[in-house]
Amino acid sequence: MSDVAPHTELDPRYGSPGATPTPWPQALAQLVTAELYWLSTVRPDGRPHVTPLIGVWQDGALHFTTGAQERKAHNLAENPEVVLTTGTNTWAEGYDLVVEGEAVRVTDDARLRGLAKAWEEKYGAQWHFDVREDGTFDGGGGPALVFAVAPRTVFGFGKGEPFSQTRWRFE
């Protein structure tokens, strides 16, 4: 995973005349600072499952946690393809982002320690995680699996004038 600049495209069908593509660094800054993300997974029977969660961007990927017995963990065991979204709940202002990719479990001790530090730096001491020997986080509520989603495609939706839709594709 890396923070390599993706291929950027503007889809003029979904934007205002004269709209320009949003630069990737601007979208990345929003992914880094967002407080809340919505994770969409697919249940084994094909029904969607969507849940809000917190996460951190590090090493070219968006990271999140889940308990091993939670619905999203069961879904990911069957199908690791996910969508993560973040943005604003307004129509005429703000910017929304949709990240598509595969959720890959993170178990490397050094990487988990860096992520635990990033979680606490972003969200405060109430989100302190210890790294367990089994490659999970422990935040006091039992083991939590950690996943990384390196984006395959990201969509950005500019709202208000100008409206725009930018797509970033990662190789």
Q: What is the DSSP secondary structure assignment for residue 126, as one 8-state letter?
A: G
Q: Which amino acid is at 47?
A: R
Of the chain, the end-to-end C-alpha distance in Å amounts to 11
Count Cα atoms within 13 angstroms, Cβ side, for 83.
11
Query: Domain limits at 20?
Result: 7-169
* Residue 26, number of CB atoms within 10 A of its CB: 11
> Pick the residue with more confidence: 31 or 140?
31
**Residue 3: pLDDT above 80?**
no
Q: Is residue 50 part of a domain?
A: yes
**Residue 32: pLDDT above 60?**
yes
Q: Is residue 17 part of a domain?
A: yes
> Pick the residue with more confidence: 15 or 171?
15
Bond into 162 cis (ω within 30): yes
CB 40 within 8 A of CB 86: no
- pLDDT on residue 5: 85
Per the structure, the count of domains in the chain is 1
Q: Is residue 1 part of a domain?
A: no
Q: Is residue 13 part of a domain?
A: yes
Q: Is residue 61 part of a domain?
A: yes
Tokens of 91: 């129509």
Q: Is residue 83 part of a domain?
A: yes
| Distance from chain centroid for Cα 148 | 8
pLDDT tens for each residue of 64-80: 999 999 999 999 999 99
Confidence at 104, pLDDT banded by 50, 70, 90: very high
Q: Is residue 145 part of a domain?
A: yes
- pLDDT on residue 59: 95
**Residue 54: pLDDT above 50?**
yes
**Residue 111: pLDDT above 60?**
yes
Q: For the domain that residue 67 is a member of, what is the CATH number?
A: 2.30.110.10
Owner of token pair 């090493």: 59
Confidence at 142, pLDDT banded by 50, 70, 90: confident
Q: Is residue 2 part of a domain?
A: no
What is the three-class DSSP state of 170?
Answer: coil
